[in-house]
Amino acid sequence: MHLLSPVLRLRLLVRRSEIWLVAIASMIGVAAGLAQAAISSAAHGLQQLLFGLSGDERLSAVSGSLGELALFVPLVGGAILVPIAWLVKRNGRRLVDPIEANALHGGHLSFYDSLIITLQTVVSNGFGASVGLEAAYAQMGGAFGSKLSAFLHARRSDMRLLLGCGAGAAIAAAFQAPLAGAFYAFELVIGTYSIAALAPVMAASIAATFVSGWLTDYHGNQLGALPQIDVNTFAALMGLAVVTALFSVALMLLVSETEKLFTRLRIPALVRPLVGGAVLAIAVAFTPFVLSSGHGALQAVLEEPPASLWLLVFMIGAKMVASAVSLGSGFRGGLFFASLFVGALIGLAYFHVLEIVAPGMVADGRVAAFAGMTGLAAAVVGGPLTMVFLTLEDTGSLSLAITMLAVAAVSSVLIRQFFGYSFATWRFHQRGETIRSAHDIGLIRSLTVGRMMRRDIRTARSGITVRTFQRDFPLGASKQVVVVDDAGAYVGMALMPEIYALDAEMLDRPLDEFLALKDAALTPEMSARQAAQLFEDRSSDALAVVTDRSSNQVLGMLSESYLLRRYAEELDKVRMDMSGVDRRPPGRR
């Protein structure tokens, strides 16, 4: 008991004090920073070992030949992923990422599953697949947040918040950009911004940034001063925002169509990484800049942009195809880093075109590159403010960041209006989920008919007369009575006002002739929204609940008024959690 007391006291402190919640978030940030540094070092260490890189050399920035043995590295990586995928499939459980965990599962994220996703991502990136490590960073950061909040028995809202703290902190550590990491958490993982969430999220992001920076010695881009943005440049970059929105749709559809191509070719899912590895061997031989996440190649093109427009067009197409093949064939990773690289290439190509049609409209190609990065990543990732703050923290230019805000806004509006999804939510859509963000729809989904129905109901037997029914069920006893047969199966609903309005000569007729809603009943697994729709379609105040429509065994009854009240209560809880309102009684705050 003495050993448990400090733990119990800590749980109470975290529940009652925002200061302690911030302290816990800082601890999660430290863990996320350590995880990010370890994952990055592991992936880069694999690349050094397998491709013969020097200490500071990046795979995507290699200028010379990688050697003949390097051709087989992606194929070996695909072979390693096959048994991992087989074990996951055998387990029968779908792996969940932080966005889905917060949207559907109230912040519960399996630590074991997160380790599997991280292993798959490190193998994919380390063996040269054209994917980023951000999936592993956010996964492990979120897993630490979820695990610690579960240990502390945190409320659902706090668990979602701490998971977001961990995921955002890991992204902050990766880019050494605490503001970008914090808004990654708000926009993508938590789903909303609130004042109550600001301190924990920022504390986690700052802690992770310091820890990772101390361990990895990251210095960011060294680009020198960038020119101020004038009206002509601003107008030109708005056109670039439209272009990046179009390319973002093309990139997401390309990944989707690649997966469909593997399906049409009837290539088993477990074998696809081998096929993808074989295709990536071509990239090792001819286009090494498309390998891995593209960090090194991005730094190279920003410091010394390619002089040829056609070379830029080729690089854009090659990187998009390599990323689509990698993800479509079963390699694990994200498109965040890839979208930054492709966006920079699109911006530089756009700058070349402008120099032909309107020379001098944009003074520096690097400005167009940053606009391309912001526009494409904001649309693909779904985090416009994340990209704006990343630009601000990377360049230190406020005028550029303000312009990037407009670019991100235009790109995001276009993608939401004409496509409707970011890459993460597009993948959910393909799977049949209706997740459009990390908002907590799981709480509403868990409100099923089975949870709300009344089981203590009186039923009438089918076959009795109206007179017998009126004797057994006096007027005013209830508004409606469920009628069942001898086997307990649902027959219909006797509506009391209608039954008592019958003429005297009808009292000896069978009750079954006057039943309503004979073919309308709810089932326990129905969601509140589905039940509300059935109430509206049938214009009924109450409906019977049956096991299923084949056996029709009556379990209980649910009224429309109770359904709407419970639904409103759950929505109110979600709104209060989103706004940061404290729902505890005043005496316990």
Q: How far apart are CA 190 and CA 196, in angstroms?
A: 12
The residue written with tokens 């699109």 in the block is 346
Q: Are residues 145 and 294 in the same domain?
A: no
Q: How far apart are CA 114 and CA 97, in angstroms?
A: 8
Paired strand residues for 514:
none
Q: Which of 6-10, 316-320, 345-349 has the lowest mean pLDDT?
A: 6-10
- Domain-terminating residue out of 436, 457, 482: 436
- Domain-terminating residue out of 436, 467, 499: 436
Outline where 93-230 has alpha helix (H). 98-104, 111-126, 134-151, 156-175, 178-184, 195-216
Phi, psi of 40 (to 5 degrees): -60, -45
Question: With contact defined as beta carbons under 8 Å apart, do 542 and 412 qualify?
Answer: no
Q: Are residues 193 and 48 in the same domain?
A: yes
In a domain, 70, yes or no: yes
Q: Are residues 186 and 106 in the same domain?
A: yes
Q: Which of 21-35, 111-125, 545-559 has the lowest mean pLDDT?
A: 545-559
In CATH, what number is assigned to the domain containing residue 173?
Answer: 1.10.3080.10
Q: Encoding tokens for residue 335?
A: 């498109």
Q: Mean of the pLDDT values across residues 487-500?
A: 90
Helix (H, G, I), strand (E, B) or coil at 239: helix
Report how far apart, in Å, the C-alpha atoms of 173 and of each of 35, 329, 358, 398 are.
Answer: 9, 29, 40, 22
In a domain, 225, yes or no: no
What does the pLDDT look like over 247-298, one tens digit per residue?
999 999 999 899 999 999 999 988 999 999 999 998 888 888 999 888 889 9
Outline where 433-478 has alpha helix (H). 442-445, 449-452, 466-472
Residue 1 has what pLDDT? Answer: 43
Q: Which residue has the higher pLDDT, 493 or 582?
A: 493
In a domain, 462, yes or no: yes
- Domain-terminating residue out of 169, 192, 216: 216
Count of other CB atoms within 10 angstroms of residue 254: 18
Confidence of residue 563 (pLDDT cuts 50, 70, 90): confident
Helices (H) and strands (E) in the chain, counts: 24, 5
Q: How far apart are CA 272 and CA 73, in angstroms?
A: 16
Q: Which positions ≥6 away from 232 have C-beta within 8 Å? A: 361, 362
Q: Are residues 53 and 110 in the same domain?
A: yes
In CATH, what number is assigned to the domain containing residue 482?
Answer: 3.10.580.10
Q: Are residues 268 and 403 in the same domain?
A: yes
Q: Which positions ≥6 away from 176 have C-beta within 8 Å? A: 209, 212, 213, 218, 220, 393
Q: Encoding tokens for residue 567?
A: 């639904």
Outline where 307-448 has alpha helix (H). 309-328, 336-357, 365-381, 384-395, 398-418, 423-430, 442-445
Paired strand residues for 460:
483
In a domain, 584, yes or no: no
DSSP state of 441: -
Q: How far apart are CA 557 and CA 541, in angstroms?
A: 11
Dihedral sign, Cα of residue 105, residue 111, residue 112, residue 115? positive
What does the pLDDT look like over 172-223, one tens digit per residue?
999 999 999 999 999 999 988 888 899 999 999 999 999 999 888 665 555 5
Q: Are residues 198 and 279 in the same domain?
A: no
What does the pLDDT look like over 41-74, one tens digit per residue?
999 999 999 998 887 788 888 877 788 888 999 9
Question: With contact defined as beta carbons under 8 Å apart, do 347 and 305 qualify?
Answer: no
In a domain, 578, yes or no: no
**Considering its fold, how many domains does the chain have in total?**
3
Confidence of residue 587 (pLDDT cuts 50, 70, 90): very low
Burial 388-398 (b: 16+ CB within 10 A, else e): bbbbbbbbebe
Q: Are residues 166 and 203 in the same domain?
A: yes
What proportion of the chain, given as a percentage, has pLDDT over 70?
91
> For the chain, first and last CA: distance in Å?
26
Residue 88 has what pLDDT? Answer: 87
Q: Mean of the pLDDT values across residues 474-503?
A: 88
Helix (H, G, I), strand (E, B) or coil at 97: coil
Question: Where are the extended beta strands (E) located within 178-227?
Answer: none
In a domain, 313, yes or no: yes
Reported as type and span, the H/E element at residue 88 is helix 73-91
pLDDT of 585 over the 50 cut: no
In a domain, 566, yes or no: yes
Q: Are residues 423 and 449 in the same domain?
A: no
Q: Is the pTM of this model over 0.85?
A: no
Domain residue limits at 422? 231-436
- What residue type is 163 in one-letter code? L
Q: How far apart are CA 322 and CA 299, in angstroms?
A: 19
Report how far apart, in Å, the C-alpha atoms of 440 and of each of 101, 106, 312, 570 are.
Answer: 9, 7, 42, 11
Q: Mean of the pLDDT values across residues 133-143?
A: 95
Q: Are residues 33 and 159 in the same domain?
A: yes
Q: Are residues 454 and 562 in the same domain?
A: yes
Among 248, 298, 245, CA closest to 407: 245
DSSP state of 228: P
Q: Are residues 282 and 366 in the same domain?
A: yes
Confidence of residue 438 (pLDDT cuts 50, 70, 90): low
Q: Are residues 33 and 94 in the same domain?
A: yes
Q: Which of 109-118, 440-449, 504-513, 570-579 has the lowest mean pLDDT?
A: 570-579
Q: Mean of the pLDDT values across residues 573-581?
A: 59
Report how far apart, in Å, the C-alpha atoms of 177 and of each of 23, 182, 219, 224, 357 are.
Answer: 20, 9, 11, 18, 36
What does the pLDDT look like over 155-182, one tens digit per residue?
888 899 999 999 999 999 999 999 999 9
